Amino acid sequence: MESAIPDHLRQQRQCPATTPAHYQPPFPAWSSRFSPLTGQVVMACFGVQGRDGIALSDLAPITERFSMADGPLFWDGAECVDAQGFHTGIAIAYWADVQAFARWQQTCGFTAWWQHEARERGPLGWFMEVVCPTAERFETVFSSPDRAEGIGHLASHVSAPILEHGYWGSARDRLPIAQVDPLPGRAPASVPPPHGKRVRLPGRDNLCLIRSGQDWSDTRGEERRLYLNDVRPVLETGMTFLRDQGGDIGCLSCRFMQAVDRSGLPIDKSFGLAWFDDLAHLERWAKTHPTHVAIFGGFMNYVQTLNFQIQLRLYHEVAVIPASAQFFEYVNCHPGSGLLSR
């Protein structure tokens, strides 16, 4: 067993860890390892929205450019319906080099397409939500070491089973920057309410992003029934709460996404994609709010019923990002889109 924080990012703690003394995790988990990453990575969410059904093909003006020079090392697609009833399609793309991302935008014609006034007209809205954390500002955890998700596709390998998981506060203990920084959130200075067809939002210091995913493609029989009938409905209730009422507890935006394949067909994967004021607000919801307590309790009952022999795969990635490493722009979107309403 090893620490989730790789050796080259370990330093003398100024903020104590909360790992219990003599702790032994109740089940194994793993973290992504990089070789190592230097500088900033890019987590870019490109989205399209409309009143009627949205397909992954509506994002083709963007996704077709991914295969061009300096395109992302990995991307995947998903869809959801937001609180206002708008259908939303997204492509989440990952770069290991922020300079490559900048070159891609220019050389493939994306910037010219994005900035064209035609994006501001018609039935579709468009958005970009981009964060560029350094390696000490994000962490990953996987319930299985043999299937990458999200930024894990940029990894060179996975760790041995890690110590810091399965207890409240473990996400903070896995974040290298949290060894020396309590990561308080700071809202941007007061700005006029956003208006117009093209809105760019200021960053928020230590904004927290979580992508938390579920893959039930390998489940069969009783396990599949338990997941779909007992676990998933409770998860959906929690995600709907964050989407519709999360502002009261520091959640700025939440989308519960159905993953789709490259042809746009649904697959047996989902993930929550949520933005919190800061890590502390995410931790507070996870530890104390009835919706997450129910999610955690339902999962523990699930694994205990199956004697911890499960084929369900879970993962998450959490990033805490400085204001200077954020870019949010919404074009022709309704005012409740993403971070616009916060």
* Active site (catalytic) residues: 316
Q: At what angle do helices 279-288 and 290-305 cross, to 10 degrees?
A: 60
| 282-302 CB burial, b ≥16 within 10 A, e <16 | bbebbeebebbeebeebbeeb
Q: Which residue has the tokens 């200021």?
A: 202
Reading the block at residue 152, the tokens are 């894990």
89 forms beta bridges with 48, 79
Cβ proximity of 215 and 258 under 8 Å:
no
Distances (CA, A) of 278 to 114, 188, 210: 29, 13, 11
Determine the Cα–Cα distance for residues 21 and 108; give it in Å rounded to an integer: 53
270 forms beta bridges with 214, 258
Q: What is the DSSP letter of 66?
A: T
Determine the Cα–Cα distance for residues 50 and 72; give it in Å rounded to an integer: 26
Q: Give the burial class of 227: count Cβ atoms within 10 A of its Cβ; 0-12 exposed, 13-18 middle, 19 or more buried.
A: buried
Distances (CA, A) of 21 to 17, 24, 164, 167: 10, 9, 12, 12
Q: Which residue has the tokens 């959490």?
A: 318
Determine the Cα–Cα distance for residues 183 and 180; give it in Å rounded to an integer: 9
Determine the Cα–Cα distance for residues 227 and 213; give it in Å rounded to an integer: 14
Reading the block at residue 288, the tokens are 């104390």
